[in-house]
Amino acid sequence: MAAPVAPGGPAAPSGTGMAAPGRTGLARRLGRGWRRLTAKAKFGAIVCLLFALVAIIGPYVAPYDPSLQGSATLAAPSFNHLLGTTSFGQDVLSQLLVGIRATLEIGLLAGLIATVLSVVVGISAGYLGGWGDEGLSLLSNVFLVLPALPLLVVLLAYLPHKGDTATVLVLGLLGWPWGARVIRAQTLSIRNRDFVAAARETGDSALRLIFFEILPNEVSLIAASFVSTVIYAVGTSVALAFLGVADLNQWTLGTMLYWAESESALQANAWWWFVPPGVAVALLAAALVLLNFGIDELGNPRLRDATRHRHLGRQHWRPSDPTPVDRSASPGGARRRVGAFAHSFSRSSLLEQHEPTPVETREAGA
Question: If DSSP states are collapsed to H, E and C, what string results for 280-305?
Answer: HHHHHHHHHHHHHHHHHHHHCHHHHH
Q: Is 332 a member of any domain? A: no
pLDDT tens column, 290-335: 988 888 777 665 655 555 554 444 455 555 555 555 554 445 555 5
Task: Identify the segments of the chain with pLDDT beneath 50.
Answer: 1-20, 310-314, 328-330
pLDDT of residue 6: 44
Number of Cβ within 10 Å of residue 245's Cβ equals 20
Q: Is 13 a member of any domain? A: no
pLDDT of residue 275: 94
List, in sequence order, every residue forming a beta bridge with 91; answer none if it has no partner: 85
pLDDT of residue 164: 80
User: Hey, CA dihedral for 108, 114, 120, 123, is it positive or negative?
Assistant: negative
Residue type, 129: G
Q: Considering the entire predicted model, what is its pTM? A: 0.73
Q: Is 9 a member of any domain? A: no
Q: Is 269 a member of any domain? A: yes
List, in sequence order, every residue forming a beta bridge with 315; answer none if it has no partner: 312
CATH number for the domain that contains residue 278: 1.10.3720.10
Q: Is 357 a member of any domain? A: no
Burial of 344 (0-12, 13-18, 19+ CB in 10 A): exposed
- For 76, residues 6+ apart whose C-beta sits below 8 A from its C-beta are 84, 272
pLDDT of residue 8: 45
CB 122 within 8 A of CB 184: yes
CB 151 within 8 A of CB 174: yes
Q: Is 168 a member of any domain? A: yes
State which H helix or E strand residue 311 sits in. Answer: strand 310-312
Q: Is 130 a member of any domain? A: yes
pLDDT of residue 30: 66
CA distance 355 to 342: 20
Domain that holds residue 246: 36-304
pLDDT of residue 313: 46
pLDDT of residue 318: 53
| C-alpha closest to that of 70 among 79, 80, 62 | 80
Q: How many domains does the chain have?
A: 1
Q: Is 239 a member of any domain? A: yes
| C-alpha closest to that of 293 among 309, 307, 273, 314 | 307
pLDDT of residue 244: 85
CA distance 136 to 127: 11
